[in-house]
Amino acid sequence: MHSVQEHKIETSKEKQNRHKAMEAIKVLNTLKEEFRTPPKAMNYFYNLFEEVYCNQKPLHNDKVKVGTMCIQIPSEIIYALDAVPIRLCNGFYTDDEIGSDLLPQKACPLVKASVGHLSSKNLTDKPDMIYSPTTCDQKTKAGSLISSFGYDVVDVDFPRTKESEISREFFRRSIHNFSVDLSHKMGKKLTKKNLRASISKIGYAQSLYHKLSEFRKNKIVPILGNDIFLVTNAFFFDKIDNWINATEKLVEELEQRVKEGLHVAGKVSPRIVYTGSPPIFPNYKIPLIIEDSDAIIVADETCSSNRMFNDRVAVDEWFVNDMIDSLADKYLKACTCPVFSKNDDRIRRIIELVRSHNADGVIYQAFAGCTVYELEQRSVLEAMEKAGISILYLESDYSPSQHGQLSTRVEAFMESLKIKNRKKA
Amino acid sequence: MNYFVGIDIGSTAIKITVIDENREIIGHRISGSGSMFYKYAQQTLSDLLNDLSISSEDICYTVATGYGRKLFKEADENISEITANAIGAVAAAKEFGTIKTIINIGGQDSKAISLDDQGNVVNFAMNDRCAAGTGKFLDACAMNLELTVEELGERHFNASGTPLSINSTCAVFAESEIIGLLGNSHSVEDIISGVHYSIAKRIVKLVKRVGVKEGIYFDGGPALNAGLVNAIENELGHKIFIPQNPQVTTSFGAAIMGIDSYNYQNKNL
């Protein structure tokens, strides 16, 4: 008789947690160990991600948690009502696979992963309610699917054009409705004082991001683009005061690094602006390939990083309704998401970033299935060619395979940039 | 004598070229990649050096390229196959003139590379991850038709009339499409030319993405297939140049890169 090895059969929750921990730790170890000395202040962020994704540690037990399905829900209003915003955009392949059973195979991996995560009900900081802006088709449909899992999901109407006065009015009303709904659910009122305070707090967080961005304009770049993605990604879910504190320390350390001349890449490493579908932890596949190919990401144009922090709220009058209008304007007008019919702002922003950060080229990534980024590829490529900027377009997804082909493309792109630079010199 | 070696470890074949310091090809060798890239690459190299009676001490610099480039640890340097292909093509096409566009069809990918007047890569495009329009696709079709890949090229020209269309983007589905066409009693020749035209159409799309510029060079194993070459020329509307040994251009380019790196390093010592 052969002996059967005793083994415990995992529950689906245990399996999901184990797989996600494996994905998370792999990326964190790469960031910590494979690259040149990360700043000490990054340890806060490495630990945060490890605690949340490997040890399933909840951060907000004492607070009402407001889930958001996209970037367009003003966190300022959520904080003003003493709740915590948690952005539910997800980067785990494990969750993408769960979501694949619920959505078409060809759907966007980010949407599949977000839906998969929520369908599993296995969340460390489970949202008490979810606001779902009607941005792209897939996110819009995902909202109703998620509500069928038993979550309290509220659609937040979002226009697909942003030039017209109608769309401006439309979104202002939409954000007013959102604030009324949330205020009702929280049993609290938005006041001049609490809203102004939270606008100013987020504004301060934005100013810290701008400081980080300034360092990356220099010849000496003291931090990798992948580390910056981790910092901005933490803003999705971290306690805001802790985030501010940790980022202040990072800014201080980077100042020191610049003084010491500590450059985290090679002398001739190409400087890259990254744009397209957002890298969300732990899907840093393309950013890691880039910085592993002797290049450095000096800026990005994505909704998981630059787009969250770049533009400040411009308030005319500090009355509640005016502040809400200003917030609505900021979340609509400054948005460079490709869902809009026309999106010249995005092209302008990319060119600006290339110039201000002295970049050698642009890498444009679209998730296979992220139709809007796939659609906008053509006009961005044409505009870059016109501006004399080298650009590489890549399609990828959350799967761990395909690494060889992608790295060949990225490496060849870097080799061509280096040759170009050598000729210029 | 100083020699330089370029090793191109592809998905299907390992190609090694040895050149001297004047960039003249001394010899080359091609073998299957199999499942053990590294071991077979080492074996192929030592066989080639034996054939050429070159001692490994006379090898000044080795550059690895291709899908398995990072596995060949003895290499002094590794570069992507796109850069190597460009360098090799420019050198191999000297007699032909200036190369502006390279078409390469390999075992598991196909690419189009656009060059500037100095032969630098300015843009490139590659197929997505499936095997459609690659050497593997040709292999699969030949197998379905019970032919060798060599026979595909010869019989292409015996097709009558308009080539059949094979629409499947996937090599596996194309197989069932071919079976369907055979079932409808189409001739093998017509199917072959249909296969070639379907690959040609895909590759022309890639070339258009980087821009069609006169001075077109085609390499990789499938460039030996005269039927495919014919189909690409017709789809593109341009003459294309096929080098004498289309399989070894990339390893030749890697070897040339070796001379440059070797000289550069010695100059900076």
Q: Is the dihedral of CA B157, B163, B164, B166 positive or negative?
A: positive
Same fold, B1-93+247-269 and B97-242: yes
- The neighbour count for residue A1, using CB atoms within 10 Å, is 3
Give residue B169's pLDDT.
Answer: 63
Tell me how far apart the alpha carbons of residues A32 and A286 are, in angstroms, rounded to a whole number: 17
Best residue in B81, B104, B115, B123 for a mutation probing chain A (most A CBs within 10 Å): B123
Tell me how far apart the alpha carbons of residues A108 and A139 are, in angstroms, rounded to a whole number: 9
Q: Are A354 and A383 in contact (CB under 8 A)?
A: no
Q: Are A311 and A349 in contact (CB under 8 A)?
A: no
What are A128's two structure tokens? 């008490």
Give per-residue pLDDT as tens, A216-225.
999 999 999 9
How far off is chain B from A415, nearest CA to CA, in Å? 7
How far off is chain A from B81, nearest CA to CA, in Å? 7
Fold of B97-242: Nucleotidyltransferase; domain 5 (3.30.420)
Q: A341 φ, ψ to 5°?
A: -55, -55
Residue (of B264, B268, B267, B259) closest to B59 by Cα position: B259
A-chain residues near B118 (CB < 8 A): 423
For A204-210, the CB contacts below 8 A with 24+ separation are: A204/A244, A205/A235, A205/A240, A205/A243, A205/A244, A205/A247, A205/A309, A206/A309, A206/A310, A206/A312, A208/A244, A208/A247, A208/A248, A208/A251, A209/A247, A209/A308, A209/A309, A209/A310, A210/A309
What are B69's two structure tokens? 């480039």
Domain ranges for chain B: 1-93+247-269, 97-242
Give residue B175's pLDDT.
Answer: 77
Give residue B242's pLDDT.
Answer: 95
Give residue A425's pLDDT.
Answer: 75
B-chain residues near A411 (CB < 8 A): 79-80
Tell me how far apart the alpha carbons of residues B252 and B4 are, in angstroms, rounded to a whole number: 10
Q: At what angle do helices B135-144 and B171-183 cross, to 10 degrees?
A: 30
Give residue B67's pLDDT.
Answer: 87
Tell me how far apart the alpha carbons of residues B141 and B138 are, in angstroms, rounded to a whole number: 5
Which of A402, A408, A416 is nearest residue B120 as measured by Cβ atoms?
A416
pLDDT < 50 regions, chain A = none
Q: Do A415 and B128 touch (CB under 8 A)?
A: no
Q: Bridge-partner residues for B124, per DSSP?
A: B113
Q: Is the dihedral of CA A196, A198, A199, A201 positive or negative?
A: positive
Q: Do A405 and B126 touch (CB under 8 A)?
A: yes
pLDDT < 70 regions, chain B = 128-132, 168-171, 269
ipTM higher than 0.85?
no
Residue (of B172, B247, B268) closest to B17 by Cα position: B247
**A416 shares contact with chain B (CB less than 8 Å):** yes
Which of B81, B121, B128 is nearest residue A408 as measured by Cβ atoms?
B81
Give per-residue pLDDT as tens, A117-133.
999 999 999 999 999 99
Give residue B143's pLDDT.
Answer: 87
- CATH architecture of the domain B1-93+247-269 equals 2-Layer Sandwich (3.30)
**A423 shares contact with chain B (CB less than 8 Å):** yes
What are A344's two structure tokens? 């010249």
What are B27's two structure tokens? 């010899």
Tell me how far apart the alpha carbons of residues B158 and B167 are, in angstroms, rounded to a whole number: 22
What are B6's two structure tokens? 């370029």
Q: To 5 degrees, how large is the angle CA B58–CA B59–CA B62?
A: 175
- DSSP state, A35? S
Locate the chain A residue with the closest alpha carbon to B111: A409
- Pairing mode, if any, of strands B101-105 and B110-115? antiparallel
Query: What beta strand segments (E) does B172-227 contain?
Result: 216-219
Which of A395, A408, A420 is nearest residue B80 as measured by Cβ atoms?
A408
Tell me how far apart the alpha carbons of residues B155 and B150 are, in angstroms, rounded to a whole number: 9
Q: How far is CA B221 from CA B10, B110, B157, B229, in A?
A: 11, 11, 19, 11
Q: Are B145 and B191 in contact (CB under 8 A)?
A: yes
Give per-residue pLDDT as tens, A307-342.
999 999 999 899 999 999 999 999 999 999 999 999
